[in-house]
């Protein structure tokens, strides 16, 4: 009877098959059989197998065209005559002492399952990939053990790869372990159950297999997300049926977290990864059985973060989908009264849950010195009294139009675009104002007059921030107020009329380039000719809009007056906690600015340089916001399509990981420095204490010497000698009396 039956599944592996077969035929031990199962190769694989089988009787070829790998394994098990079975990948090859080493190990330590290490290398470059297939720290480096020795880690002592395991044939039959009952991805369940059921697990810390990573190989055909999830569910069911789950629940959680993380990272298609994220999010098994412990309890916090990040990715994907849908045409709830002449200015106000502030905003517009205006309020599904207040103002003033989004809950950009897509009698100029801010009474009159006088495409001006007093400001709101208290005011003069690109360059050089759309006043015809719209798919939409507006403008003017008042309040986009949408918003703005530069380049080097610096700052902001996110939320970038995912990884995620590594190194360095300082301070304190002790001892010795001298001089004095003579009879009498009393006590005792 052969020692080992090697099962080799083959599918279009002709380029590597000779090397694999030769590695077995040159073994130092001949105690094996080689069962080659061809799954319907369309290349020369079957021909190569047939030629080898004709030359060597140890090789058996089985044609299983159209079968799955699991079915091929099951067929081969029936043909296996060896005491042990090894399942090999046809793209790999083994060491010349492979059989001999396994046989020696089994002879010294009989095992149900023996697992070993492998060397992984890239098939194209031949470069060895630093990777291990076994984790001895989870079984305390024991040579022989079972699940009872390490119940919390038994399924993660080795990889899920079957080609690093040797199985006893009788063990598989006794424990009823086979591939047919699990279907696709059965290999995962098979390996995990074998590790759990084995009474004797033996580890061999040697790299006996050379594993080739390559696309198109049977082993590297990724299982679909459905297959992986089915395998996880089957494993849980089998553990329960075999009454192993209660003992191994934590190992199961670690195993599934590692498996899912590998699948998520290894997914080549963004849609496939997103589908797996959706399954993870909606799975009660994952929520209650796999992610039920604290982060620090898992073997790999990174894998845990990855799986937890699926919820962030899936949620953000839904947000992107809703934002892209936008609103085709809003409901017009209250339309302004038509007039013979078009208004001079149209003010667009997006509104969402701004009941405490929208009144002040509308009052500041209705009381403008320029009265030939219209106001378009677009409610975005407010859940407070915002819409009610807006309709009340519309009933009192015929210049107000109130709209409601068909698909509420999007963004200011979506609300502005919804208004801009409405066909009606527009004003000659456009102004955008948020419903929680307000403007000075002469704002529109001054802006309109300047734009008309110089025939400007755009007018820019200044503003000021103020802290909301309708509620107690949060610490973040106070911080933002301190940060932006002087931000909206420019301190340099930009007199005359400028080309937009030139003014952008000058503003950026003076560090006074401001993107807030409420600091800009637009000519409607210029707006329409250049098809200016807001990007409703991302936060911080003003970044791209302002850049595009200035980049295309031919005539721009600046008025050095503070017209706009920006409210700093709690729970606004400025004061809320950073989320992935903030980092992604800056990232999209960066991409769009770069794309705009490529479409409409400037011939002036300084202008191009300034635009590139604007883009670079957006990229830096994206990295800063991304860096503040939780570990799990950082995986929200999986919601992006394949191209954006790769760009985000290269431009945002990888630099963030490097910065985190550097910060951790800096923290470690700082801790080491503080520890060194603390040790030095301790030593210094001990030295000071020792010095004080030595000083006190010296002072005590000097005092003793002085006292001895004084005592000696006292004994030599005349008065001391006279006193000694006078007191001598009394001392003698006390001595005699003491002796008599002592004699009396002794007599009484006896």
Please say whether the dihedral angle defined by the alpha carbons of residues 410, 416, 422 and 424, taken in this order, is positive or negative: positive
**DSSP-assigned beta bridge partners for residue 331:** 404
E strands, 73-193, in order = 84-89, 93-94, 113-122, 128-129, 144-145, 165-168
pLDDT exceeds 60 at position 369: yes
Average pLDDT of the residues in 641-666: 78
pLDDT attached to residue 686: 78
Phi-psi region of 27 (alpha: psi -120 to 50; beta: other; left: phi over 0): beta
In 3D space, the residue among 353, 374, 513, 488 whose CA is nearest the CA of residue 434 turns out to be 353
pLDDT attached to residue 712: 76
Does this model's pTM top 0.85? My answer is no
| Distance in Å from the first CA to the final CA of the chain | 103
pLDDT attached to residue 179: 84
Alpha-carbon distance of 373 to 326, in angstroms, equals: 27
**Contact, 276 vs 256, CB < 8 A?**
no
Query: Over the chain, what is the mean pLDDT?
Result: 87
pLDDT tens sequence across 370-388: 999 999 999 988 899 999 9
- Helix residue ranges per DSSP H, 84-224: 98-108, 169-174, 186-197
**DSSP-assigned beta bridge partners for residue 567:** 466
Alpha-carbon distance of 259 to 594, in angstroms, equals: 39
Percent of the chain with pLDDT over 70: 91
Alpha-carbon distance of 43 to 17, in angstroms, equals: 11
Average pLDDT of the residues in 61-67: 86
Rounded to 5 degrees, what angle do the CA atoms 559, 560, 565 make?
Answer: 95
By the 10 Å C-beta count (0-12 exposed, 13-18 middle, 19+ buried), 11 is classed as buried
| Three-class secondary structure of residue 502 per DSSP | helix
pLDDT tens sequence across 597-637: 999 999 999 999 999 999 999 999 999 999 999 999 999 99
Alpha-carbon distance of 459 to 527, in angstroms, equals: 13
pLDDT tens sequence across 102-157: 999 999 989 999 999 999 988 888 888 888 888 888 887 677 899 999 999 999 99
Higher pLDDT, 415 or 66: 415
Alpha-carbon distance of 143 to 166, in angstroms, equals: 15
pLDDT exceeds 90 at position 674: no
Average pLDDT of the residues in 6-26: 93
pLDDT exceeds 60 at position 420: yes
Tokens at residue 634, please? 């950082």
Alpha-carbon distance of 237 to 290, in angstroms, equals: 14
pLDDT attached to residue 71: 80
Alpha-carbon distance of 721 to 26, in angstroms, equals: 115
pLDDT tens sequence across 212-237: 886 444 344 456 677 888 889 999 99
By the 10 Å C-beta count (0-12 exposed, 13-18 middle, 19+ buried), 222 is classed as middle
**Contact, 4 vs 85, CB < 8 A?**
yes
């Amino acid at each position: 009877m052969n020692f080992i039956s090697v099962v080799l599944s083959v599918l279009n592996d002709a380029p590597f098959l000779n090397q694999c077969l030769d590695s077995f035929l040159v073994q130092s031990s001949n105690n094996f059989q080689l069962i080659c199962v061809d799954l319907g190769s369309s290349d020369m694989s079957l021909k190569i197998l047939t030629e080898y089988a004709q030359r060597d009787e140890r090789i058996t070829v089985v044609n299983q065209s159209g079968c799955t790998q699991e079915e091929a394994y099951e067929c081969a098990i029936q043909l296996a005559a060896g005491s042990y079975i090894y399942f090999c990948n046809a793209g790999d090859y083994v060491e010349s002492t492979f059989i001999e080493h396994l046989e020696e190990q089994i002879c010294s330590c009989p095992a149900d399952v023996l697992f070993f290490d492998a060397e992984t290398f890239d098939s194209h470059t031949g470069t060895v990939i630093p990777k291990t297939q076994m984790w001895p720290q989870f079984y305390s480096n024991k040579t022989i053990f079972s699940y009872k020795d390490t119940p919390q880690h038994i399924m993660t002592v080795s990889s899920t790869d079957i080609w690093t395991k040797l199985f006893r044939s009788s063990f598989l039959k006794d424990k009823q372990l086979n591939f047919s009952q699990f279907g696709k991805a059965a290999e995962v369940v098979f390996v995990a159950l074998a590790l759990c059921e084995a009474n004797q697990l033996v580890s061999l810390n040697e790299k006996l297999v050379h594993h080739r990573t390559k696309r198109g190989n049977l082993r590297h055909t990724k299982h679909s997300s459905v297959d992986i999830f089915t395998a996880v569910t089957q494993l849980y069911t089998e553990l329960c049926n075999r009454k192993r789950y209660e003992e191994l629940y934590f190992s199961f959680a670690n195993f599934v977290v590692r498996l899912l993380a590998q699948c998520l990272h290894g997914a080549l298609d963004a849609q496939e990864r997103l589908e797996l994220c959706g399954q993870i999010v909606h799975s009660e098994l994952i929520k209650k059985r796999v992610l039920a412990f604290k982060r620090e309890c898992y073997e790999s916090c990174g894998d845990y973060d990855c799986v937890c990040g699926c919820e962030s990715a899936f949620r953000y994907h839904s947000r992107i989908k809703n934002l892209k849908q936008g609103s085709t045409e809003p409901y017009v709830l209250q339309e302004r009264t038509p007039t013979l002449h078009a208004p001079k200015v149209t003010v667009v106000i997006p509104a969402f849950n701004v009941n405490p502030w929208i009144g002040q905003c509308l009052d500041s517009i209705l009381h403008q010195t320029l009265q030939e205006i219209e106001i378009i309020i677009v409610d975005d599904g407010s859940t407070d009294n915002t819409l009610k207040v807006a309709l009340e103002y519309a009933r009192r003033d015929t210049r107000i139009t109130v709209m409601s989004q068909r698909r509420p809950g999007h963004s200011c950009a979506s609300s502005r675009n919804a208004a801009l897509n409405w066909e009606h009698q527009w004003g000659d100029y456009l102004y955008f104002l948020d419903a929680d801010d307000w403007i000075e009474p002469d704002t529109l009159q001054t802006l309109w007059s300047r734009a008309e006088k110089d025939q400007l495409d755009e007018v820019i001006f200044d503003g000021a921030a103020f802290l909301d007093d309708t509620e107690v400001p949060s610490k973040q709101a106070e911080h933002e107020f301190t940060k932006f208290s002087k931000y909206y005011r420019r301190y340099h003069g930009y007199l005359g009329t400028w080309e937009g690109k030139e003014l952008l360059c000058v503003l950026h050089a003076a560090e006074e380039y401001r993107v807030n759309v409420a600091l800009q006043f637009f000519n409607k015809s210029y707006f329409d000719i250049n098809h200016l719209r807001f990007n409703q798919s991302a936060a911080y939409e003003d970044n791209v809009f302002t850049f595009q507006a200035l980049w295309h403008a031919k005539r721009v003017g600046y008025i050095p007056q503070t017209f706009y008042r920006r409210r700093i309040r709690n729970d606004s986009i400025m004061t809320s906690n950073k989320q992935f949408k903030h980092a992604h918003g800056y990232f999209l703005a960066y991409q769009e600015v770069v794309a705009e530069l490529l479409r409409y380049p400037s011939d002036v080097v300084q202008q191009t340089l300034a635009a590139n610096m604007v883009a670079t700052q957006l990229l830096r902001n994206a990295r800063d916001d991304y860096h503040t996110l939780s570990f799990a939320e950082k995986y929200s970038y999986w919601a992006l399509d394949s191209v954006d995912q790769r760009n985000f990884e290269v431009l945002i995620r990888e630099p963030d990981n490097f910065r985190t590594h550097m910060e951790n190194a800096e923290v470690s360095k700082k801790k080491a420095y503080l520890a060194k300082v603390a040790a030095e301070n301790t030593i210094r304190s001990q030295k000071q204490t020792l010095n004080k002790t030595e000083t006190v001892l010296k002072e005590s010795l000097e005092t003793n010497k002085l006292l001895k001298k004084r005592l000696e001089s006292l004994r030599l004095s005349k008065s001391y000698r006279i006193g000694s003579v006078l007191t001598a009879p009394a001392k003698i009498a006390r001595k005699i009396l003491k002796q008599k009393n002592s004699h009396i006590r002794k007599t009484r005792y006896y």
